[in-house]
Amino acid sequence: MAVDQRTRRSRLGNPTGGLSGPAIKPITLRLVWEACKAVKIPVLGLGGVETATDVLDYLLMGANAVQVGTASFTDPQASERLERDVREAFFDSNLFVINELIGKFSTEIG
Ligand SMILES: Cc1cc2nc3c(=O)[nH]c(=O)nc-3n(C[C@H](O)[C@H](O)[C@H](O)COP(=O)(O)O)c2cc1C
């Protein structure tokens, strides 16, 4: 929610709205991690995906694919850009297959 003090009304029409984009990524990343541990079916990671690192973060948590929502509003070619950037990131990290990354998040210290 967001309120206008002058009118004492919501700045949103409903008067509530959904939150999306980078602000929600820390929460959605955690939820995707938990979902991946809880189910044996493919999981789609989403929430604030804007950069290749965001994609890799979700894959590391166990997501099999990601969705791009809000980033597409500012950059309609975001998905194509991310595909190129993720390929480059894989190349830079000497990763050859996506399974070398999916679900490889570790909670071990050090
Ligand atoms: C304008 C807008 C409309 C949306 N409509 C739906 C919808 O109809 N159904 C749904 O499940 N999620 C809907 N979402 C949520 C998105 O699918 C997604 O879960 C959320 O925006 C987080 O991803 P993002 O940060 O990449 O946008 C909508 C999001 C936005 C910004």
Residue 61 lies in a domain: yes
pTM: 0.93
Q: What is the pLDDT of residues 15-49, one digit of tens each?
A: 999 999 999 999 999 999 999 999 999 999 999 99
Tell me whether residue 51 is in a domain.
yes
Q: Is residue 7 part of a domain?
A: no
How many structural domains is the chain composed of?
1
Look at residue 1 and give its three-state secondary structure: coil
Q: Is residue 32 part of a domain?
A: yes
Q: What is the pLDDT of residues 51-91, one digit of tens each?
A: 999 999 999 999 999 999 999 999 999 999 999 999 999 99
- Within 8 A by CB and 6+ apart from 65, the residues are 42, 44, 45
- Domain membership of residue 76 (yes or no) is yes
Helix, strand or coil, per DSSP, at residue 74: helix
Q: Is residue 3 part of a domain?
A: no
- In this prediction, residue 92 carries a pLDDT of 94
Name the region of 48 (left: φ>0; alpha: ψ -120 to 50; beta: rest): left
pLDDT at 110: 77
Q: Which of 12, 19, 20, 58 to mutate to test the pocket of ligand 1 (most atoms within 8 A of CB)?
A: 20
Atom of ligand 1 nearest to the CA of 70: 27
Query: Which ligand 1 atom is the nearest neighbour of the CA of 48?
Result: 25
Residues touching ligand 1 (Cβ under 6 Å) are 18, 20-21, 24, 46-49, 68-71
Any domain includes 108: no
pLDDT score for 41: 98
Look at strands 44-46 and 9-10 and give their pairing: unpaired
Structural domain for 78, as ranges? 17-100
Percent of the chain with pLDDT over 70: 100
Instruction: Please check whether residue 8 lies inside any domain of the structure.
Output: no
Q: Label the pairing between strands 9-10 and 3-4.
A: antiparallel
Residue 21 belongs to domain with CATH number: 3.40.50.12600
